[in-house]
Amino acid sequence: MDFIVAAARKAIEELYGTQVPADVISLQETRKEFEGQVTIVAFPIVRYSKKNPAETAEDIGKYLQANVAEVAAFNVVKGFLNLVLDQQYFLRVFHEEILGTGFGRIAPNGKKVMVEYSSPNTNKPLHLGHVRNNLLGYSVAELLKASGYEVIKVNLVNDRGIHICKSMLAWQKWGNGETPENSGMKGDHLVGKYYVVFDAEYKKEIKALMDQGQTEEQAKKSAPLIVEAQQMLQQWEAGDAGVIALWEKMNGWVYEGFGVTYANLGVDFDRFYYESNTYLLGKDTVEEGLEKGVFFRKDDGSVWIDLTAEGLDEKLVLRADGTSVYITQDLGTAQMKQDDYQMDESIYVVGNEQDYHFKVLFLILEKLGKPWAKGLYHLSYGMVDLPSGKMKSREGTVVDADDLIGEMIRTAKSKTEELGKTNDFPEEDKNALYRNIGLGALKYFLLKVEPKKRLLFDPNESIDFQGHTGPFIQYTHARIRSLLAKAAYQPGGDAAGVELSDTELDMVMMLGKYPAQIREAAATHSPAVMANYLFELAKGFNKFYHEIPPIVKTEAGAQKQFRLNICRVTGDVLRQGMSLLGITVPERM
């Protein structure tokens, strides 16, 4: 629509003798209740026209109608100039751009971006919060790929630390040699079970100590279990062969379990980093900062950065005993990732409880003069809450990822069977379909909400399969595929002899937006943008489908071919767009 802006500026120049910047021409889609497709707002122009908005709009409308071939007519309503574009214009756009093979494919931009997501702890299974993280990370990576980036998906696994030692210790004490094999329990769940056991036993000890007169704080520090876990962590850091072997064994179980969950979610990674390899990094960076005078050392030997000038606090970057803290590691890891890949941008998909951490991290890297620091971005997303509030593993209120996936598939199965449309499917296809629909519903549910907003999940209310949902879009796609098959669709056709009805025009306009939607979703790191667009498109298609006479039974000709082309492109855009959300669409359902 750039040509409208250009023409309007020319109109103003010729009518009023003054040049105006492009942003004076405010273009918007014409609201449904008025005639036309594009609207120019007259108010910003009045200071150049020196006339009232209605007269200004009238002037420009007349000029455009006379001088721009595509402008067939216009009307003015309260200072809004609504332009009616020629049908031929839309038909040309449809046949030359939308119908082309490259539609929706954006050329490589030569830039490399890293997306770090998932990044789980290895002491317990994944829950709904992780699911949101994984789906967001995967989708953002796909969106960036589609908008021209080279993408590296990275998972930074937190595989060491006190929490893992807790599981290890509890298993050692009370596990009786239980393994995933002999118990039939998924590895990550098994390890998680002992994490819970640890916590329960630890609490008992605390209570006992408090009964003996200790304060809660003392008790928490002196309970034998926590002391033992800390010793275990020290042994781990010292490279104790027995502890390392146990650690490797139990982490192995967890990775096997995570692998299954990742496969079910359909997410993947190009590279895994492990904190056991990175937790010592960052000390060089601290040295560098001291040399550059960005950091300073206190009398006790601890190293700090003063960010009060930026409205933040003083922040510790190295402990007095010379060991790393979280941010030390992250400074080092950021440098390592940069050295490994030399990417232009780097996105961290991490919950909003770490907003402050990343603000500080990026600021420090900038102060250290890292040229790549400006390419860092924290994709911060809101927590997934239950009606009762936050999910808490200790109170057993977490929604387990594997359970949820299983439940979604079962629900999809029962809903599908209720409808009875797939009774003739082979068993294998049925199961694939249930999985398709169940996961489609779950993924869409999580991705349609703007990332930074918190998300409410009610375990007692199953996720919908009707209305603004994944299955709605999947259904629309299946319907299109079925129709095309019945009509024995063949590509081809041109604008000659085609008349556009209102819904057909709507479809052409909506389809035309697809590339811009990819760009916007990628630029704003928001799968929700794509999700909402696809819903609008599917809704528009269903309306179109109901309004026009049955295509299959229509007599062959330009109009029929045009409608089939609309069906085909809509199906393709739905399929491609959903794949950018990590959702697959079925051929039948």
455-474 positions binding RNA, by CB under 7 A: 455-456, 464-469, 471-472
Nearer to RNA by C-beta: 344 or 429?
Answer: 429
Reduced to 3 states (helix: H, G, I; strand: E, B; else coil), residue 268 is: coil
Nearer to RNA by C-beta: 100 or 557?
Answer: 557
**Options 65, 87, 88, 158; binder of RNA; rule CB under 7 A:** 158
Q: Does 30 bind RNA (CB under 7 A)?
A: yes
Minimum CB distance to RNA, residue 513 (Å): 13
Minimum CB distance to RNA, residue 446 (Å): 10
**Options 532, 559, 561, 565; binder of RNA; rule CB under 7 A:** 532
Nearer to RNA by C-beta: 200 or 456?
Answer: 456
Query: How far lies 393's CA from each of 124, 127, 167, 305, 400, in Å?
Result: 9, 9, 14, 35, 10
CB of 81 closer than 8 Å to CB of 46:
no
Q: Which stretch binds RNA (CB under 7 A): 106-114, 244-252, 538-546, 575-583?
A: 538-546
Q: Does 555 bind RNA (CB under 7 A)?
A: no
DSSP string, 399-446: -BHHHHHHHHHHHHHHHHHHHTTTTTS-HHHHHHHHHHHHHHHHHHHH
Q: Which stretch binds RNA (CB under 7 A): 132-140, 185-193, 547-555, 576-584?
A: 547-555
Span 497-526, contacts to RNA by CB under 7 A: none
Nearer to RNA by C-beta: 160 or 370?
Answer: 160
Reduced to 3 states (helix: H, G, I; strand: E, B; else coil), residue 244 is: helix
Q: Does 71 bind RNA (CB under 7 A)?
A: no
**Options 9, 72, 79, 228; binder of RNA; rule CB under 7 A:** 79
For CA atoms 534, 540, 546, 549, give the dihedral sign: negative
Long-range contacts of 208-214 (CB under 8 A, 24+ apart): none
Tokens of 144: 């960036």
**Options 199, 552, 572, 579; binder of RNA; rule CB under 7 A:** 552
Minimum CB distance to RNA, residue 563 (Å): 8
CB of 53 closer than 8 Å to CB of 7:
no
Q: From residue 409 to residue 428, what is the string marking binding to RNA with x (rule CB under 7 A)? A: ---x--xx--x-xx------
494: left (phi over 0), alpha (psi -120 to 50) or beta: beta
Q: Per DSSP, what are the bridge partners of residue 38? A: 29, 83
CB of 579 closer than 8 Å to CB of 439:
no
Nearer to RNA by C-beta: 151 or 446?
Answer: 446
Residue that has been written with the tokens 């014409």 in this structure: 30
CB of 39 closer than 8 Å to CB of 82:
yes
Number of neighbouring beta carbons within 10 Å of residue 278:
20
Q: Does 357 bind RNA (CB under 7 A)?
A: yes
Q: How many residues bind RNA (CB under 7 A)?
A: 94
Span 89-118, contacts to RNA by CB under 7 A: none
Nearest alpha-carbon partner for 253 in 198, 190, 193:
190
Nearer to RNA by C-beta: 153 or 563?
Answer: 563
Nearer to RNA by C-beta: 78 or 212?
Answer: 78
Minimum CB distance to RNA, residue 13 (Å): 20
What is residue 550's DSSP assignment? P
Nearer to RNA by C-beta: 260 or 316?
Answer: 316
Q: From residue 311 to residue 350, what is the string marking binding to RNA with x (rule CB under 7 A)? A: x-x--x--xxx--xxx--x---------------------
Q: From residue 119 to residue 138, what is the string marking binding to RNA with x (rule CB under 7 A)? A: --x-----------------
Nearer to RNA by C-beta: 24 or 244?
Answer: 24
Q: Which stretch binds RNA (CB under 7 A): 125-133, 255-263, 354-362, 507-515?
A: 354-362
Tokens of 193: 């079970």
Q: Does 437 bind RNA (CB under 7 A)?
A: yes
Q: Does 529 bind RNA (CB under 7 A)?
A: yes
Nearer to RNA by C-beta: 193 or 479?
Answer: 479
Span 174-203, contacts to RNA by CB under 7 A: none
Residue 248 class from Cβ within 10 Å (0-12 exposed, 13-18 middle, 19+ buried)? exposed
Q: Does 537 bind RNA (CB under 7 A)?
A: no
Residue 333 class from Cβ within 10 Å (0-12 exposed, 13-18 middle, 19+ buried)? buried
Minimum CB distance to RNA, residue 201 (Å): 20
Nearer to RNA by C-beta: 4 or 551?
Answer: 551
CB of 443 closer than 8 Å to CB of 583:
yes
Nearer to RNA by C-beta: 151 or 154?
Answer: 154
Residue 74 class from Cβ within 10 Å (0-12 exposed, 13-18 middle, 19+ buried)? buried
Q: Does 152 bind RNA (CB under 7 A)?
A: no
Q: To 5 degrees, how large is the angle CA 356–CA 360–CA 366?
A: 150
**Options 355, 490, 516, 557; binder of RNA; rule CB under 7 A:** 355
Minimum CB distance to RNA, residue 325 (Å): 4
Q: To 5 degrees, how large is the angle CA 10–CA 16–CA 18?
A: 65
Q: Which stretch binds RNA (CB under 7 A): 261-269, 283-291, 408-416, 489-497?
A: 408-416
Span 230-259, contacts to RNA by CB under 7 A: none
Residue 64 class from Cβ within 10 Å (0-12 exposed, 13-18 middle, 19+ buried)? buried
What is residue 109's DSSP assignment? -
